[in-house]
A and B are shown apart, each in its own frame.
Chain A
Amino acid sequence: MELKYDKGKNQKERREFIHYYARWVKSVPNEVWSRQQAELIDSFILNAKNFKMTTEKYLEIRDGSPKEN
């Protein structure tokens, strides 16, 4: 099995997109970029709320310190 993934190329494409996106954000009124951003972020938060996880597990993943109690 062969995986063709060029990390350098992927990074370059992502960074080019950041430049492109920043130019777009600067070129449009606040209502425009922020409305699109709100749709994305609100979806992210909604998904996170629907993903059931205990606080113990979350802290273990985030802070790497499983609690003994």
Chain B
Amino acid sequence: MELKYEHGKIAIENKVFTTLDRFVLDFTELLEEYVDYVIVSGYVVILFGRARGTEDIDTIIRYIDRDTFASFYQRLSRDGYYFLNPEDVTGLYEMLEEGLGVRIAKEDTIIPNIELKFVKDDFDRYSIDNRLEVVLGEKRLFISPIELQIPYKLYLGSDKDIEDAIYLWDIFSEKIEVNRLREFMKALNVRGEEYGIEV
């Protein structure tokens, strides 16, 4: 794997795009016109090579007002997306305000889908304020800092999540800010020694 790091960006050159990559890149290009976002969790791990599938792309956005959301909703409809949730635009916005996720897919499909949520806590805010730009050829997207993703995955704690944490550590251990990782591990009260994540 060749990763190029520069000024808060990581470039993955010559990556063969998956159907999932194209779906995410198309969607985030549109989303970016309306609001800052950050992708967290499973797709972050897949983007850097983990060989596993995922149904949904967890995406956090900053708070937007009703009118902006309504414009975004209309744009999605024009561009061939739909919300899986049965609520109308008002109901969808209320779901977001209540801290729930809303799901968006391309017409006539269910998987893959984007699960969109408003920023809800300090970890989400940190993710979006310190998001990492990943450059894929002419395209780009924004992901949560790896230093937060590893502890977050350990915190979630399922076998799959722990395997994701191990994978990210193995790929990035020489590149990440260990102090920052240590702080998040402490904040989330997780330990990694058992899995070879030694900080």
Contact = CB atoms under 8 A, between A and B. Distances in A.
A38 interface: yes
Interface in A14-69: 14-15, 18-19, 21-23, 25-26, 28-31, 33-38, 40-42, 44-46, 48-49, 53, 55-56, 58-59, 62-63, 67, 69
B80 interface: no
Nearest to A43: B53
B163 A36 contact: no
Nearest to A41: B18
Nearest to B17: A38
Contact of A31 (B16, B18, B85, B110): B16
Contacts of A18: 163, 166-167, 170
Interface in B1-38: 1-2, 12-20
Given A15-B166, A29-B2, A37 B103 contact: no
A40 B50 CA distance: 11
Contacts of B51: 21, 36-37, 40-41
A30 B159 contact: no
A48 B54 CA distance: 10
20 contacts: A14-B159, A26-B170, A28-B1, A29-B2, A30-B13, A30-B14, A33-B1, A33-B49, A34-B18, A36-B51, A37-B46, A37-B49, A37-B51, A38-B18, A40-B53, A41-B51, A48-B111, A53-B110, A58-B84, A58-B110
Interface of B: 1-2, 12-20, 46, 48-51, 53, 55-56, 84-86, 101, 103, 109-112, 159, 162-163, 166-167, 170-171, 195-196
